[in-house]
Structure 1
Amino acid sequence: MKTVDLRSDTVTKPTMEMREAMAHAEVGDDVLGEDPTVKRLEATAAAMIGKEAALFVASGTMGNQVAVLSHTARGNEVIVDDQAHIFYYEVGAPAILSAVQLRPVTGLHGPDAPKLIKAAVRDRDNIHYPETSLICLENTHNRGSGTIMAPEQMQEIYELAKQYRLSVHVDGARIFNAAVALGRQPGEFSRWCDSIMFCLSKGLGAPVGSMLAGSRDFIDRARKYRKALGGGMRQAGILAAAGLVALGSVNRLAEDHVHAKMLAQSLAGIPGVQVDLNKVQTNIIVADVSGTGMTSEEFVSVLEQRGVLAITFGPTLIRLVTHRDVSREDVEYAIDVINNIN
């Protein structure tokens, strides 16, 4: 039976071009600053995202946590959306590693963000309060069905943050999806933040790694924190070589967006399934299956029995993600399965 894996864009396999680049990568000790392929990846990533410097890290979570460490002091408070990856999926790492408190805010990625931020920022003169030092945004927003925060909205938040002397970090794991979907340059997004992390190992398809970018001073601090977290890799050029190939494949993300819309429209046509098609802006679909009488686990199990893999996203929510290893033929197969579900 055919299998179409829509659980995540993290399941992509490295291409033959990536494997060949890894096999022939020029390497050195990156902790000593001697790996030429890592250096080239960091310079390329910084240029593409519009920042002074970049740092190769093992994962998106490591990139986010190094950023929090670099922007904050012990006892600070960090404003995040209540559905943010940093809050929802990173094992409480800000408390463990940075000794900071997260202030989850509902709707931080919506039109009321400035008002919500003003209400959340602490009064520095009040001895009872922690000091707010950082706002973390997410673009695209994973639990928001891959929705995009436009540069204009980011600008409004960034300028407000500076009025309060706050830094802004962006979990941009899928920032290139946002840029491709809106037909904008990545630098139009990154201009409105102090640091940004993006993944090489999701839609771009590299086997390992993410990039953290910001000013040179920021990346100098971040490099030491990466080492403290055990992220000082040695001949990491073998991995960086695949990342360089991945950065050359950004434009093909548009194909994943087309496939996601096809799937979403099919799901929305099933009685009892609700999909907000306005939120299917990139490669992520979140559907509510409560009207079918099935739980999300039951619905996902039925799909799996027919060769379509998805994940649960809550008691009645499922998520499907398109990616490079899902062809149009695969999408059509998944649609046929979905249309015949009962």
Structure 2
Amino acid sequence: MVVNLISDTVTRPNSGMLKGMMEASVGDDVFKEDPTVNELEGEVARLFGMESALFFPSGTMANQTGIKLHTAPGDQLICDKYAHVYNYEGGGVSFNSGVSCRLVDGNRGMMTADQVEKAINPPDFYHSPKTALVCIENTTNKGGGACWDFRELEEIKKVCDRHQLKYHLDGARIWNALAAKPEGPEAYGALFDTISVCLSKGLGCPVGSLLIGSGASMEKALRIRKILGGGMRQAGYLAAAGLYALEHNRGRLAEDHRRAHEIGEVLEKRDFVTYVAPVETNIVIFEVDRAITSDTHVVRALNEKGIRLIGMGEGKLRLVTHLDYTEQMHHYVLETLERLEPAMN
């Protein structure tokens, strides 16, 4: 048995999703004439209570567009040191927008309103970059799928308003946060200037993200998407996967969370594991006791059992549950972890 838990991006469309894709009505989306793309954009904007949405080929492009919308070259954005826009988007913040990042030392990828306020540069001190934007990631990838306390997000919004800063949510795994927390999507839509949402992680689509915001912002985003090379033609075949996923795959995210939690419980009992990050959604991050073994040994031992995972650096390992991870696979993973004896150092 091969069990791929390196990410929730490894899923493949099921028969229902493929059927919807093949039967989609399509047009040229560069001319905004693809009816299925238009339907998806309208549906996601409606879900979040925002005016408009724009379909992108990737979450990175959606985030980079959001950042460019809200900043000018030489500006600075504030984000946690674990933020995806800083760590995993190829330096796009500086390359695409000419912007620097002020990193905050938060907790599992989450910073406080007080930390944000202290990170803002004085607007009249021209020696430092002008602070223009605050970026949030929910759930946090490097933080182990942690969900923000919505009250803290509201407090950060107050800071943004006081200092006339824009507020962007990297919602690559916002669907997981929505499944784990009581707030609905419209609550996030009322808080943020722009939100990116990913379809190819928890929802199991092959491709696609959306950026959501005001109508005026999305008109500007359309031009930025063109500059970045994100215009697609008959993209309705991909958008149809998103419509299918919104209808059929959101409700089952709690299963991914349950399985991740059970994996975490097993890991906490193993002698070679020193730390398991609190499991809230579908990501399990753990560290091994280097006096006993190493992360390389653990990866190799699990690979030999057909279980794939990744290292995140600093001795951390990550497992991610997802749509294609079945209950049969789950029992196999739990049994394997309970019996695993990685090589000794």
TM-score by length of 2: 0.96
Post-superposition offset of 1:223: 0.9
Match of 1:257 in 2: 257
- Check whether the contact 1:271–1:292 (CA below 8 A) recurs between aligned residues: no
Would you say 1:268 and 2:273 are equivalent positions?
A: no
Q: Which amino acid aligns with 1:75?
A: G
Q: Deviations over 1:120-148 (max 9, x none)?
A: 10111112111100000000001000000
Match of 1:73 in 2: 72
Would you say 1:23 and 2:22 are equivalent positions?
A: yes
User: In structure 2, how many angstroms separate the alpha carbons of the residues matched to 1:324 and 1:109?
Assistant: 25
List gaps (5 residues or longer) in structure 1. none
SS in 2 for 1:54: strand
Match of 1:330 in 2: 329
SS in 2 for 1:274: strand
SS in 2 for 1:288: strand
TM-score by length of 1: 0.96
Q: How does 1:6-45 map to 2 (within 5 A)?
A: 6-45=5-44
User: In structure 2, how many angstroms separate the alpha carbons of the residues matched to 1:274 and 1:189?
Assistant: 35
Percent of aligned pairs sharing the same letter: 41
User: In structure 1, how many angstroms separate the alpha carbons of the residues matched to 2:24 and 2:252?
Assistant: 24
Match of 2:338 in 1: 339
Match of 2:288 in 1: 289
Match of 1:178 in 2: 177
Post-superposition offset of 1:110: 7.2
SS in 2 for 1:11: coil
User: In structure 2, how many angstroms separate the alpha carbons of the residues matched to 1:45 and 1:78?
Assistant: 26
SS in 1 for 2:273: coil
The structure with more helix, counted as a fraction of residues: 1
Q: Deviations over 1:215-269 (max 9, x none)?
A: 1111111111001100010111111111111111211101100000111101111
Task: Identify if the C-alpha distance between structure 1 residues 111 and 44 changes in structure 2 by more than 3 Å, giving closer, same or farther.
Answer: closer
- Check whether the contact 1:273–1:291 (CA below 8 A) recurs between aligned residues: no
- Check whether the contact 1:80–1:108 (CA below 8 A) recurs between aligned residues: no
Q: Which amino acid aligns with 1:247?
A: L
User: In structure 2, how many angstroms separate the alpha carbons of the residues matched to 1:145 and 1:186?
Assistant: 21
Q: Deviations over 1:183-224 (max 9, x none)?
A: 331222332211110100001000000011011111111111
Match of 2:61 in 1: 62
User: In structure 1, how many angstroms separate the alpha carbons of the residues matched to 2:307 and 2:294?
Assistant: 17
- Check whether the contact 2:55–2:209 (CA below 8 A) recurs between aligned residues: yes
Post-superposition offset of 1:276: 3.7
User: In structure 2, how many angstroms separate the alpha carbons of the residues matched to 1:135 and 1:201?
Assistant: 25
Task: Identify if the C-alpha distance between structure 1 residues 85 and 256 changes in structure 2 by more than 3 Å, giving closer, same or farther.
Answer: same
Task: Identify if the C-alpha distance between structure 1 residues 159 and 225 changes in structure 2 by more than 3 Å, giving closer, same or farther.
Answer: same
User: In structure 2, how many angstroms separate the alpha carbons of the residues matched to 1:62 and 1:70?
Assistant: 12
User: In structure 2, how many angstroms separate the alpha carbons of the residues matched to 1:307 and 1:169?
Assistant: 39
Post-superposition offset of 1:38: 0.3
Equivalent pairs counted in the alignment come to: 340
User: In structure 2, how many angstroms separate the alpha carbons of the residues matched to 1:224 and 1:311?
Assistant: 36
Match of 2:224 in 1: 225
User: In structure 2, how many angstroms separate the alpha carbons of the residues matched to 1:191 and 1:269?
Assistant: 42
Would you say 1:104 and 2:109 are equivalent positions?
A: no
RMSD: 1.4
Q: Deviations over 1:26-51 (max 9, x none)?
A: 11110111000000000011111221
Q: Deviations over 1:64-116 (max 9, x none)?
A: 00001111111100101101111001110010010111111110777861221
SS in 1 for 2:274: coil
- Check whether the contact 2:12–2:206 (CA below 8 A) recurs between aligned residues: yes
Task: Identify if the C-alpha distance between structure 1 residues 315 and 126 changes in structure 2 by more than 3 Å, giving closer, same or farther.
Answer: closer
User: In structure 2, how many angstroms separate the alpha carbons of the residues matched to 1:268 and 1:67?
Assistant: 39
User: In structure 2, how many angstroms separate the alpha carbons of the residues matched to 1:147 and 1:292?
Assistant: 28
Task: Identify if the C-alpha distance between structure 1 residues 109 and 117 changes in structure 2 by more than 3 Å, giving closer, same or farther.
Answer: farther
User: In structure 2, how many angstroms separate the alpha carbons of the residues matched to 1:275 and 1:258?
Assistant: 19
Post-superposition offset of 1:291: 4.5
- Check whether the contact 1:150–1:189 (CA below 8 A) recurs between aligned residues: no
User: In structure 2, how many angstroms separate the alpha carbons of the residues matched to 1:57 and 1:292?
Assistant: 46
User: In structure 1, how many angstroms separate the alpha carbons of the residues matched to 2:23 and 2:91?
Assistant: 39
Match of 1:236 in 2: 235
- Check whether the contact 2:24–2:236 (CA below 8 A) recurs between aligned residues: yes
